[in-house]
Structure formats: structure tokens, C-alpha cells
Amino acid sequence: MFDNLSDKLDRAFKVLKGQGQISEVNVAETSKEIRRALLDADVNYKIAKNFADSVKEKALGQDVLTSVSPGQLFTKITHDELASLMGGESTDINLKGSPAVILIAGLQGSGKTTFSGKLSNYLKKKKGKNPMLVAADVYRPAAIDQLHVLGEQINIEVYSDKENKNPVEIAKAGITHAKSKGFDVVIIDTAGRLAVDEQMMNEIAAVKQAINPSEILFVVDSMTGQDAVNTAKAFNDRLDFDGVVLTKLDGDTRGGAALSIRSVVDKPIKFVGTGEKMEALDVFYPKRMADRILGMGDVVSLVERAQEQYDEEKARKLHKKIAKNQFDFNDFLDQIAQIKKMGNMKDLMGMIPGVGKAIKNMDIDDDAFKHIEAMIHSMTPQEREQPKLIDGSRRKRIAAGSGTSVQELNKLLKQFDETSKMMRLMGNKQNMAKMMRNMP
């Protein structure tokens, strides 16, 4: 995410390397580099210029601190400015009303339908809400089916009416249906077009007027850079929306949209989409995004995601099994599934400070565990529970069945053996003490 911008900013600060103090000359040079980095990231020219000027002014106005280097000082000032450019504090979604009605708007392909699913999933799991979805995209029948598929996947009711071609009527009927069934949030997915057009705007404006939503969220594809900003402006002029959702931030986006939208439309970015899966949604925190852009890593998000995935009941059961020496390949699979649920491996690792840059060109993907899973799936239930049974001929069978090699399987079995031994030792306090004593 924003790798190029991060690199260029890094380079801008390098100008200051070895320089003992901030001076008019090095400040001017660094701020010029910062402006260039922002322009390269597809940030609007005026915003980039104001940003660089503001960083320059702040740097010159700083007292000379002997404890920090000019490079560090610039990093800090740039970080704070980036965060304020993206909105400063994070802004919550408005869920007032019974039911609260959230209208989703945006161009076709921006990720509206996907986001509607993700948002309902988020509100249900993280906010304890009971949401319902309404499919009001009357032009693309496939969009209605798509929403039903998503709804089924995350267990959320979807209201639709394929016979009706009037989005205002569908939205109203959806809300009435939600009221009668006791849903407390209604999310309305609307039709988009490939580009801003008058009929689409009239339609969505009519829906807004008819249902008076608690919140209108504008969804935009971050990969479209400056176009995203122009589209945001067109929708905002017409709808006066409440917040922005930036999708596809997991892609190779340069960052222009994320950095420019706030100051152009003066509306907060509320969520960002980071993948196609239903869990790939993050609340937007400007400060954390600034941390990430400057390569400071986003440890807070990482820890939060890990905590979310932690299932206490499961953990207790696992500890019991470990203590009884019953940890088996089914538990191993479970552990892998938990790690995978946390999201894209490369993204996760990129959040660890210092790691982001190092892994940029490495080939890490969600398939990292594919071989291991294939091998475990090729074992019989009995073999999974008692790996000791896996002798030479069974090894050949499992390797062939999973499309791997005996060497690879041997490695996995050895790893498993070591892991379970280690777990057993750590699970037992007496052994732990023994282990510590034996340490050199």
C-alpha cells in the first residue's frame, strides 16, 4: 500500500541525513522533494503544494532540539501533516434512527455491493447490531444475486424485488420490511453507472429525499486516483454525503485519492476496503494511515486484528489438549485457519515496523499454507489424530495425494513434532522451570 510514496518520502528525508541542523537551504530542498513525492502519488497539485509549504513553515518555526535529528523532525512534522490532511481524528458511522438507514452510493465497479456486505458483517459482529440489506440496483440483476450470495455467506437477510424497477419504492418497501421484522439497521445498495450521469444522480437523489437516511456513504475505488476525487466532488455536490469509503487499498494504489479526497469534499473517510473477503474492511484512522505511509508500521492495527480473531473458548480447549499431549493435526489446521482469517499475509507482515520494505519484493501470498493444508487434508482422520501412525508407505500415499513430495511431508512431520513438544513443555510450569535451568 502506497509503497512508492513511502519510498519517495524516505528519500526526501535522506537529503537531511548527516546534516546537524535545520537550515533554510535544506528545508527548501526537502520540502521540494516532499511535494514531488506527493505529485507522483497522484495528489492534486494545489494540495501537494500547500502541504509542502506547510511542512516547510513548521520545520523552520521549530526550536532547535539537540535530541532529534533534522530527519526525525521532518518525519514527525510530515506525519502529523499527513494525518491532518486525511482528517485528523477517525469519524464514526451514524447509527441513529430505528432502524438506522444507510444509503450506499458510488459508480459501478467501485465496490458498493461488496462494501454493503462487509458493512453489514462489521455492524453485526463488532457493533452487536441486527442489520438487513436491501438490493436496490435495478439495472444490474446480477447485483441483486451478488448481494444475496454475500448475505447467505455472512448470514444476513437481503430484501429484494426483481419485478420492481423503481429504486425509491424498493428502498421504502425494504425499510418497512425491516421495521416489521425488527432489524435495527438497513443498508441500501444502489445502482451505479460507469461514469457520473444525470439520470443516476437524479435517481439516487430521489431515494435520498424519499427515505431521509441517517447516513449516506460514498464508495470509491482508490485505484482511480484523481478521477476518484472528481467523482467524489460530483456526488457530494448532489448528495451532500456523510462519509467516504475507499476500496481496493490492497491493490497497487498510489495514494492520491486517500490523500486528496478529504480536503476536496471536506467529508471524512470512514472505512477502507482491503480485499475481496467479507472481513477485509478497516475503520479508517488518519494517524495510523500516516504511520503506514511513513513506514512506521501499524502495530496497533496488527494487535487489534489478532485480538479480534482470538477465541477464548477455543484457546482453553487447545490448552487442555496440549497439556494432555493430544495436540494433533486437526488443531494444527485450526491454527492455520486462524492466521489466515487475519487477512493477507503480506499486508499483515507489512504492518510490522521495518518489515514492510524488506518484504516488498518477496513472493508471500495467501497460499503460503497451501501445501501444508493439502498434506493434512490427504491424511486420514486417524492419521491426523495419531501422526505416529504415518510410516513409510503412508508417507508416499499422502505426498502423492496432496501433490507434494515425501521430503516436504517429512519436514512437516518434523515441524509438527517439534511444535507439539515445545507446546507441551511450555504448557507445564514445572517443565518450564526445568527448561530455563538447562539454558546455557
Residues that bind ligand GDP (CB under 6 A): 106, 108-114, 143, 192, 247-248, 250-251, 273-276, 280
Q: How far is the CB of 424 from ligand GDP (least distance, A)?
A: 41
Residue 144 is given by DSSP the state H
Using CB positions, name the residue nearest to ligand GDP: 273
Q: How far is the CB of 103 from ligand GDP (least distance, A)?
A: 14
Which of 35/270 has CB closer to ligand GDP?
270
197 is in an annotated binding site: no
Residue type, 203: E
Helices marked H in 240-342 — which ranges?
A: 256-265, 286-293, 299-309, 312-323, 329-341
91 is in an annotated binding site: no
Which of 35/248 has CB closer to ligand GDP?
248
133 is in an annotated binding site: no
348 is in an annotated binding site: no
Q: How far is the CB of 101 from ligand GDP (least distance, A)?
A: 19
Q: How far is the CB of 204 from ligand GDP (least distance, A)?
A: 13
340 is in an annotated binding site: no
Asked if residues 387 and 354 have their Cβ atoms less than 8 Å apart, the reply is: no
* Beta-bridge partners for 106: 219
Asked if residues 290 and 347 have their Cβ atoms less than 8 Å apart, the reply is: no
109 is in an annotated binding site: yes
249 is in an annotated binding site: yes
* Beta-bridge partners for 134: 159, 188
Closest CA to 3 of 366, 356, 275, 248: 356
List C-alpha distances in Å: 310 to 89, 116, 173: 27, 25, 39
Q: How far is the CB of 185 from ligand GDP (least distance, A)?
A: 19
135 is in an annotated binding site: no
Closest CA to 305 of 275, 269, 325, 333: 275
Helices marked H in 139-241 — which ranges?
A: 141-154, 167-181, 198-211, 225-239
Which of 74/271 has CB closer to ligand GDP?
271
Q: How far is the CB of 425 from ligand GDP (least distance, A)?
A: 42
Closest CA to 130 of 188, 184, 189, 187: 184
Which of 75/110 has CB closer to ligand GDP?
110
Q: How far is the CB of 106 from ligand GDP (least distance, A)?
A: 6
Burial 80-95 (b: 16+ CB within 10 A, else e): ebbbbbbbeebbebbb
Binding site, residues? 106-113, 189-193, 247-250
Annotated binding site for GTP: 106-113, 189-193, 247-250
